[in-house]
Amino acid sequence: MIQRVLEYRAAILTLGLVAAAVGVAQVADRFAASVLMPREPAVFTVTPQGEDVARLAPITVTFANAPAERQPEKLVQVEPAPTGTYAWLSPRTLLFQPDFPGLLRGSTYSVHVPARPDAGLPEAVTKKFTVTGQLTVQQTIPGNGDWRRSPRSARSRRTPYSASIHRSRERASGSTPRSTASSRPTSRRQRHIACGSRRA
């Protein structure tokens, strides 16, 4: 008698564990479906919308009823036409995923859906959205050796090292070296003395 009771208890405990496991699995599936997959709209909906859409944001079109046409290109047109992949998320929801790196920054796209009376869309609908703006330069940091001077002053400025190389090249070629600024007369008296010496 006691042995039979123990056997029944083991069987009842096993059935209870199996029922608990099945219940946990069902709850987990419902939770994943509600969290990972958003609830499908009951009416016609086009996403995304707005002026700050991410470049890789998917474009989804949900019809009120499942359309008889199943070719995505005949149901949705995106302009300007990006490259990407279509996929059906459900009998009523069509998704378009742009290829990497995504849509063009700062561009405005139009999603055109032709009329589908069988899907609950009596008239054609066009929705627009704008991709997040282009990158702009916020600050420039000058590098080492950057100078704020005109190109003329940069060309006329000559280092002692480059001047000595220039003089050595003139001597090697036999040409007369150019007079430097220090050998030229700077005052009227110096110019007068220089003129007198030339006349003499």
Q: How many other CB atoms sit within 10 Å of the CB of residue 196?
A: 9
What pLDDT is recorded for position 85?
97
Query: What is the reported pLDDT for 54?
Result: 95
Cα distances (angstroms) measured from residue 160 to each of 5, 53, 150, 165, 166: 110, 59, 20, 9, 10
Distance CA 41, CA 70 (A): 19
CA distance linking residue 32 with residue 73, whole number of Å: 31
> For position 185, what pLDDT does the model report?
52
pTM over 0.85: no
Rounded alpha-carbon distances, angstroms, from residue 14 to 6, 28, 102, 181: 12, 21, 53, 108
Question: Would you say 108 and 129 are in contact if contact means Cβ atoms under 8 Å apart?
Answer: yes
Q: Flag residues of the chain having pLDDT under 50.
A: 31-36, 153, 156, 180-182, 200
What is the pLDDT, as a whole number, of residue 21?
62
Q: How far apart are CA 137 and CA 115, in angstroms?
A: 44
Residue 4: per-residue pLDDT: 63
pLDDT tens for 10-47 read 666 666 666 666 565 565 555 444 444 568 999 999 99
Q: What is residue 147's predicted lDDT score, i.e. its pLDDT?
A: 57
Alpha helices by DSSP H, 37-159: 72-75, 151-156
pLDDT at 139: 73
Show the tokens assigned to 151. Answer: 């190109």
pLDDT, tens digit, for every residue of 67-82? 999 999 999 999 999 9
Residue the block writes with tokens 């069988």: 118
